[in-house]
Amino acid sequence: MFPAIVRPVAVGLSVALGWSLLLLNAAPAAAVANPAGFVNTLIGTGNDGETWPGADTPFGMVQWSPENTRGNQTRTPEPGGYGYDATRIRGFSLTHLSGTGCAGASGDIPFLPHVGTVSSSPSADTTDSVYASNFSHANETGAAGYYRVLLASGVNVELSATARTGSGRFTYPAGTASMLLRTSSSEVGSGNATVSIDPATRTVSGSVTSGNFCGYINQIGRRSYYTLHFHAVFDKPFASAGTWVDSTLRPGTTSASGGTTYGADGFPPPGRGSGGYVTFDLSSGRTVNVRVGISYVSAANARANLEAENPAGTTFDTVRQRAFNAWNTELGRLEVTGGTTAQLTTFYTALYHALLHPNVFSDVNGQYRGMDQQVHTVSGGQRAQYANFSGWDVYRGQLQLVTLLRPDIGAEIAQSIFNHATQNGGVWDRWTHNQGGTHVMTGDPAHAALPSIYAFGGTGFDAAGALASMIRSATTVTAADLSRSGWNVMVIGERPSLDKWLSIHYIPTTGNAWGGAGETLEVSIADFALSQLSMRLGNSARHQEFLARAQYWKNVFNPGNGGFIQNRNENGTWPSFNPASSSGFAEGSAAQYTWMVPHNVRGLFGRMGGNTAATNRLDAFFHQSDGRWALTDAGGLKSELDNEPSIWVPWLYNFSGRPYKAQETVRQVVNTLWSATPGGIPGQDDLGAMSAWYVWATMGIHPLTPGRAELLLASPLFPRIVVHRGNGVVLTIDAPAASAGTKYVQSLTVDGVASSKPWLPESFVGTGGALAFTLGSTPNTSWGSAVADAPPSFDTP
C-alpha cells in the first residue's frame, strides 16, 4: 500500500532476525532516492542511547511513542520512555524527549488499548500487572513517521503524526475493546490532570500539568512548569465510559481530576493519579481510529491544531504518507551515493535523531506559553516558537547541523531561545523543557549557541537584541549567580560565581558552579562565541573584551601537574590533583576536559610543549599502552567518545600536523561505536547531540569551534555527499574510493584547486563549494602536516 515507505528488505527484517548481518549488503549504485526509508527508530533504544521509537515529524511537537515498564508504574525503564529490553507496554504517550538522561521527561497522556473491561483503578495497578501488555520485537516496526506493534493482548497498534497532532489506528481482537487515557501518568509524574469524556461527540479531552525534570536530584527541579492540553476524537461510538481517581474506580462518570504529585523524593508515589476510559461499540468493525491534537496554551488551541492539521475525514494512511514525505524532504538535504545498507541506515537514522529537537512549541495560530507563563504570539518574521533546548549538549554541533541544512529553522530556534530569555527576566537558562527553565548542566550554552547559528547562516533573528541581552547577563552579577541553590546539577544562576569570573578571571574550586575548572572552560567558549557575534555585528569593543575573556581558561591550566586543566583555589593555589578524577568537572575527568579549548588549540598545544608533545598525549588519550583503542569505558585518563566532553578531541590532530591521525580516529569511532542496532548509539543521544556528531563525522567535516563556521576535515565515509542547504547553497563532497576501510586522505581539491589544509574557511559554508578527496588505505603523513596548513586559533597578544 505504501511502496515509498517500504524500507530496504534487510532493514525491515533486522528486528526479527536479531539485527543480522543482512544489513551488510552491497552499496547502492545511485544517490539514495528515499532516505526516510533507511530510518530505523529502534536504533538507540538499547544500551545507553535512551531514544524512543515512536512517530514524529521533523521538529514536531507530537512524539507518539510507547511507555515501557519493568513492573513499577512510577519508574520509566529509560528516560525516553522505552528500553529495548523491557518488553511490556503500559501506554503510548504523545510527547517525548530523545536521549535526555535523568529519570525521563514529558511522556504525557499515555493511551492504552486494553482487551477486557476496566474493573479496577489503573492507578492501583502499581506493578503494571493488569493494565499493560507484553510484546515481541518480532512484531514491532519503527520507521520515519510511523510506529507499529502487535501487543500480546492481540491489539495491533499503529501510530503516526503531524507537527501538532497524532493519528492512531488500533485493531482489536475479539472481546471488550477498551481505551485507557492515563492523563496524570507523565513519565516523572504530574501536579494535576483533568479528563472529560463526551460520548455524544466521541471525544476525550483534558490536560496534564507537569515538569519535574531531574527533580529527584534536587528540590529546585521538583515542580510543575507546563500544562499540556489534548483533544482526541475517535471514529467509533462509546459503549461505556468511566474515570478513576487514585485507587477509586468510578464507572459511568465522565470527568475526573488529580495528579500523581512528585512525592518526597522527586518520584510520583505509587497508587496516585487520575484518568478516564471508554469501551467501544465495534459492531461496524474491529479497528478504531483516533485523531488527537495537543497544545501547551489551551484546550481551544488543541482542538484548533487538530482541525487545521488533521481534520475530520483525514485517514491514518494519509497522515502516515505525509509524515514520511516530510522526513524524506528533510533527510534528503543530505544526498548520499554509495555505502552499505547498514551504513545508510545508521547515517539516516542519526540524521533523523538530530532533527527531532528543539521542536515546534507554538500552535497553528502562533500562540505559545512563555517562560513567564503568559500566552505570547510569534511576531515579525518568526513562523514558530521552538522549545526543548538541551544547551550543554547541542551547542557543540547539533544546532550547527540544523542550521547548515535549514538556516531558517536555525534562526527561529535562536529567536525562540531569545524569547524565552526575555520572558525569563533576561536569564538564558542552560536547559529548557517546554516553557520551563531547569538550570541543568553547566556553562552558558545559549551564549555559544546563538553566535554559532548566526555563523552558519541562521541570521534571520534579532541578533542585535539577543547580543545585548547576552552581554548584560555576562557582565551583570545577579543574586542567583551568587547562590549555590540547586548545586550541583541544576545551579540556579546563569553564570554561577560571575563575580569571581570578573575579578580573578576563573571559577574557583569553592565557586557555585558544578565544577570550577569545567565551568571556566565552558564560559571561555561562551565568551569567545560572544566575541565573534560582536565582531559580526560591528561592535569592536565588545569583540576585543570577550576575546580577552575567552582566554581565561589559561588560568586553570596548571603546567606543574603534568599540564592539565584543574580546579584552582580562590587564592591562586592548586588543590590536590588526580587527572582521572571528575573533581571540578561535569560528566568527565580533568584528562578528558583538558582538550576542551576549541577556539585556541594552538595556545593549548603551546602550553603542552608543542605539536609533538600534544600528539603524543592525544595518542595516549585514545589508546591503551599496548596500542589497543581506548575510546570508551577505559577510565578517566582515556577518551569517552560516548559523551560530549570528548567528541571534539579526535579532530585536534589537525592542529598538530597529523591530520591522518584525525582521519584514523574519527573513522574508528564511526566504525566501532555506532551501528544499525538497538545499541548503536554509544551514549545518551542528548536531543540529537551525539547523532549530529556522527553525521558530521561520516561527512568528514566538523565545526571548528562555537561561534565560527570553519570546518575541520577528516575523511568521508561515502563516495559522494551533496548538502542541499535550505537557502539554495550547495556543498558537494566527493570521495570515490571511500569505504569503511579507506580512510586516509591522499590529496584534496577545493573547487578544483589542490589544497593541503585539513580545514575549510567559513566561506565554504556560506557560499558553497566542491570537495574532491582522493582516499587510500595507508596514511599520507605529509598531507596537512605543514605548520602553515593548521586550522586557525584565536588568541590575544
Cα distance between residue 92 and residue 336, in whole Å: 34
Q: Band of the pLDDT at 29, cuts 50, 70, 90?
A: low
Q: What cell numbers appear for 768 in the block?
A: 558553497
User: C-alpha grid cell for residue 158?
Assistant: 499503529
* H helix count then E strand count, the chain: 19, 34
Spatial separation of the C-alpha atoms in residues 563 and 113, rounded to whole Å: 60
pLDDT, tens digit (0-9, with 9 covering 90-100), for 185-235? 999 999 999 999 999 999 999 999 999 999 999 999 999 999 999 999 999
Number of other residues whose CB lies within 10 A of the CB of residue 86: 18
List Cβ neighbours of 541 (8 Å cut-off, separation of 6 or more): none
Task: Locate 253 and state its grid cell.
Answer: 462518570
**Structure confidence by residue, pLDDT tens digits, 629-682:** 999 999 999 999 999 999 999 999 999 999 999 999 999 999 999 999 999 999
pLDDT exceeds cutoff 50 at 261? yes
User: What is the pLDDT at residue 47?
Assistant: 83
Residue 642: closest CA among 706, 702, 689, 610: 689
Confidence tier at 740 by pLDDT (50, 70, 90): confident
- In angstroms, the Cα distances linking 582 to 421, 471, 485, 579, 591 are 31, 30, 21, 8, 9
Distance, in Å, from the CA atom of 365 to the CA atom of 376, rounded to the nearest integer, reads: 11
Q: Per residue in 547-558, pLDDT tens?
A: 999 999 999 999
Q: Which amino acid is at 56?
A: D
pLDDT band for position 174 (50/70/90)?
very high
Q: What is the mean pLDDT of the chain?
A: 96
**pLDDT for 87-102, tens place per residue?**
999 999 999 999 998 9
- How confident is the model over 476-487, as pLDDT tens digits? 999 999 999 999
The CA radius of gyration of the chain, in Å to the nearest whole number, is 26
Count of Cβ atoms closer than 10 Å to residue 338 Cβ = 22
Distance, in Å, from the CA atom of 736 to the CA atom of 100, rounded to the nearest integer, reads 37
Query: 733 pairs with which residues across the strands?
Result: 721, 771
Closest listed residue to residue 647, CA positions, set 590, 603, 691, 616: 691
Q: How far apart are CA 453 and CA 410, in angstroms?
A: 6
pLDDT in tens, 189-200: 999 999 999 999
Q: What are phi and psi of 684, to 5 degrees?
A: -50, 130
Structure confidence at residue 644 (pLDDT): 97
pLDDT in tens, 675-710: 999 999 999 999 999 999 999 999 999 999 999 999
- CA-CA distance, 528 to 423, in Å (whole number)? 25
pLDDT at residue 522 tops 90: yes
Is 205 in a helix, a strand, or coil? strand
Distance from C-alpha of 624 to C-alpha of 635, rounded to nearest angstrom: 10
